[in-house]
Amino acid sequence: MIVRLGRDLQLPCVDFVSASSYTDWKKTLFIRTSYDSRWLHEHNQDPENDRWSYFRSHAMTHLTPIAIGLEFIDEYHDLPDTRIAVLQEAARRGIRSGFSIPLRQHSPAQSAMLSFAGDHSRRDMQTIMRSHGWTLHAAALAGHQRYVFHFSQEFSERNQITDKQQELLRLIGLGKKDKAIAKQFDISVSAVRQRMNTLMQRTGVNSRPELAALAMSIGILPDPLHRPDTDPLAALIEMDDDAAHTALWHAGDALRR
């Protein structure tokens, strides 16, 4: 649907990049493009060239959408000649200008960027952004949210985590000690530690706290920030009028009204 939207707006070159770290720009998790981008990957084999990509140099630290491509080169950082050559090659291949939306997710931590581009002059691209920028922005936000949800849900399948290992993750996340886990599984403490080491190797984490965090990130345990609240407060309503008004609605009040 996102690619179709881009094509409808004459922006057929759509790419999505997502990384698991806000600071380590070398660690990329996922890249998907609507076009053959092998030529670009070849250019990015040079780390110094790759670091000047819009994702590395902008989306990792900013949330402001930007105009991209050779047509907008004067609005961006002073780029090295090698990066200018990449933009020139992109323009030759029909990617002269575009619109990039940085994206962010905190649990699990994800930094991403979705870009729409095409063979447009600076003036034509500015017209597209004025007319459809909000639509493209909304599509990018919705697409990223859906990607992160499925990325988390499919983690166990991708890494071949068994039901018993998921239960082990859950117990670790709940703060259970090895002895308590061994009793629940009816195995020895050494067997628990062996299973834990196997789980670390399979998931790529390095410590017990990281396993506990993983249990929350992939949905085995609820996010502490979004656990059911025992407070009877149902909603906080603020109204702007001649004077500031704030109303606290409690569950009982809401039912009575």
Q: 32 and 112: one domain?
A: yes
Question: Which range has the worst mean pLDDT, 25-34, 87-96, 224-233?
Answer: 224-233
Q: Is there a single domain that holds both residue 40 and residue 101? A: yes
* Residue 153 confidence (pLDDT): 76
Q: Cα–Cα distances in Å, from 231 out to 52, 221, 236, 237, 250?
A: 48, 21, 12, 16, 9
The residues, any chain, with a CB within 8 Å of residue 37's CB and separated by 6 or more, are 15, 31
Q: Are residues 112 and 40 in the same domain?
A: yes
> Does residue 222 carry a pLDDT above 80?
no
- Give the residue among 232, 236, 254 at the shortest CA–CA distance from 245: 236
The rounded percent of the chain whose pLDDT value lies above 90 is 43
| pLDDT value for 254 | 47
- Whether 70 is covered by a domain: the verdict is yes
Distance CA 158, CA 138 (A): 29
Q: pTM of whole model > 0.75?
A: no
Q: Is 245 left (phi over 0), alpha (psi -120 to 50) or beta?
A: beta
**Whether residue 35 sits in one domain with residue 143:** yes
Answer whether residue 14 shows pLDDT above 60: yes
- Pair 113, 187 in one domain: no
pLDDT of 153-182, one tens digit each?
Answer: 787 888 888 889 999 999 998 999 999 999
Q: Which residue has the higher pLDDT, 150 or 17?
A: 17
One domain, residues 146 and 168: no
| CATH number, position 194 | 1.10.10.10
Do 120 and 189 lie in one domain? The reply is no
Q: How far apart are CA 106 and CA 223, in angstroms?
A: 11
**Model pLDDT for residues 15-36, shown as the tens digit of each residue:** 999 887 655 545 557 889 999 9
For 122, the domain range is 2-153
Report yes or no on 234 lying in a domain: no
pLDDT at 100: 97
Q: Which of 184-188, 225-229, 245-249 has the lowest mean pLDDT?
A: 245-249
Q: What are 125-145's pLDDT values in tens digits?
A: 999 999 999 999 999 999 998
pLDDT reading at 38 higher than 70: yes
Tell me: do 185 and 137 sit in the same domain.
no
The answer to whether the CB of 220 falls within 8 A of the CB of 173 is: yes
Q: Between these two residues, 228 and 31, which has the higher pLDDT value?
A: 31
The CATH number given to whatever domain includes residue 62 is 3.30.450.80
Residue ending a domain, among 153, 172, 196, is: 153
On the 0-12 / 13-18 / 19+ scale of CB atoms within 10 A, 89 is: middle
User: 238 in a domain, yes or no?
Assistant: no
Amino acid at 252: G
In a domain, 186, yes or no: yes
Examine the fold and report which residue of 153, 184, 209 is the final residue of a domain before the chain moves on: 153
The domain total for the chain is 2
